[in-house]
Structure 1
Amino acid sequence: MARSDDRHRVARERARESILQAAIEVFSERGVPGASIAEITHRAGVAQGLVNYHFGGKSQLVAAVIDRWFETLFGIPTVDGTADERLAGIIDGALTATGFALPVQRAVFAMQQQPDTHRLFAESETRFLAQTIASEDIVRQVFRDRGAADPPLEEIMLRTTLEGIFMKYAVYGDTYPLEDARRWVRRLYGLPEPEAPLPLQLAPRNPDARTRASGAVRPVD
């Protein structure tokens, strides 16, 4: 009986994760208004009723996608060492995460801008408030250790810079020079050049780089 219960639990967890991943893909391709539960469950290979079973409805599924985005952000490992080494680790970790999690980045950035889903984003942010504050404090301590006059402002401006890169990469895809942006941010803070590229499959940099939205277009079924 216990083994059968374990199999059912694993099957439920797999179905839930399949729905969540399909929702991330469909939301990133079509936006929340243009995405249907039918399309999401078809892509996930599950019955439509499982969305209500696991999430409760479309709004709750949207909230789960936003939660996954926060979980991804807070899952970025920290680096030990000097203040400069820790700052370089924060920059590299954040940019690596955006490369690995591009569909959820695209989906959530759109949700942040729309009135209907911005409320859900704010609610998710509240659920992760303690982790958000802890993450901010880690970065502020780095700037404090570097002798910054205003560590809170430095943290806000670093986050603004990185989020700008996230958004541009989400919009321009392969035409956005993510590796060069990483090196530019490091130089901005007087950090050494990285010894190795980001662990991502990035398109080769065009010396005459020009960002175009076509670089992020993917085939839609």
Structure 2
Amino acid sequence: MPRSAEQNREARERSQASILQAAFQVFGEKGYHEASLAEVARQAGVAQGLINYYYGGKEQLVGAVLDAYFEKMTALAFGDEGADDRLRMVIDMFLIGADQTLPQQRITLGLSILPATHRIYAESEQRNLDAVLAAGGLMQDLFRERGASDPALEEVMLRSVVEGVIVKRAVYGKTYPLQAARRWLHRMYGLGDPVEPLPFVASDPPQVALRAIDA
């Protein structure tokens, strides 16, 4: 019995999701130049021709990976929370993202800093510029509400600090003291110590870096 249009759509979506998930993993582990579409196809459990059909090639596939990353990292949504609570939410969103998306972080870091691949990163950033600007506007609003004299600068500096944490997490993995970094950020912005540990994130390892950052 032939499949319905709805069944075909669901099958396409499952295949595309499997390909993207495999691409996140393979590109994150191997890097853009060392990764191959054949390896992505094996991990996704699909024929390589299906990747070419959906995405067109390696560059287009990694572009789709970057687009999914930008979508995740700009997905700010607030209710009627006060500015301090919104700032806590922003910090936690970025840090949870740093922990839960290590392969994606390594992909974006590699693509953004290497001259040979920076264009791919820049093109994805441009495609997602509206979402990036909207997220930045929401962050500026909360700093404006907190009384900042230059909300745009405050947003840039928060991004700079958090992106530094993300880079360190991508480089050092689970040995980086993310829970302690969160406490430091909360204290820096006068938010007080978090009541609960960062959800979904393992406890920090007992190491010198942890003691230094938590001092």
Name the TM-score, length of structure 1 as normaliser: 0.89
Measured after TM superposition, the shift of residue 77 of structure 1 is: 4.0
Measured after TM superposition, the shift of residue 69 of structure 1 is: 0.6
Pairing 1:163-182 to 2, within 5 Å after superposition: 163-182=163-182
Measured after TM superposition, the shift of residue 120 of structure 1 is: 1.4
Matches of 2:43 and 2:207, distance apart in 1: 38
- Asked if 2 retains the 8 angstrom alpha-carbon contact of 1:80 and 1:86, the reply is no
1:104 aligns with 2:104: yes
- Asked if 2 retains the 8 angstrom alpha-carbon contact of 1:79 and 1:90, the reply is no
Q: Report the counterpart of residue 47 of structure 1 in structure 2.
A: 47
1:82 aligns with 2:96: no
- Between 1:35-44 and 1:196-205, the stretch displaced more is 196-205
Q: Report the counterpart of residue 121 of structure 1 in structure 2.
A: 121
What does the per-residue CA deviation read over 1:175-203, in whole Å, with 9 as the maximum and x for residues that have no partner? 10001000101111111211111112414
Structure 2 unaligned blocks of 5 or more: 211-215
Q: Report the counterpart of residue 94 of structure 2 in structure 1.
A: 94
Pairing 1:10-29 to 2, within 5 Å after superposition: 10-29=10-29
SS at match of 1:33: coil
Structure 1 unaligned blocks of 5 or more: 211-221
1:68 aligns with 2:38: no
Matches of 1:72 and 1:175, distance apart in 2: 24
- Asked if 1 retains the 8 angstrom alpha-carbon contact of 2:18 and 2:44, the reply is yes
- Between 1:19-28 and 1:5-14, the stretch displaced more is 5-14
- Between 1:197-206 and 1:151-160, the stretch displaced more is 197-206
Amino acid at match of 2:173: G
Aligned residues: 210
- Asked if 2 retains the 8 angstrom alpha-carbon contact of 1:79 and 1:89, the reply is no
Closer, same or farther: CA 202–79 of 1 in aligned 2, 3 Å: farther
Measured after TM superposition, the shift of residue 115 of structure 1 is: 2.0
Name the TM-score, length of structure 2 as normaliser: 0.91
- Between 1:76-85 and 1:96-105, the stretch displaced more is 76-85
Matches of 2:82 and 2:6, distance apart in 1: 46
Measured after TM superposition, the shift of residue 110 of structure 1 is: 0.8
Matches of 1:79 and 1:181, distance apart in 2: 26
SS at match of 1:140: helix
Matches of 1:2 and 1:196, distance apart in 2: 52
Amino acid at match of 1:25: Q
- Asked if 2 retains the 8 angstrom alpha-carbon contact of 1:140 and 1:152, the reply is yes
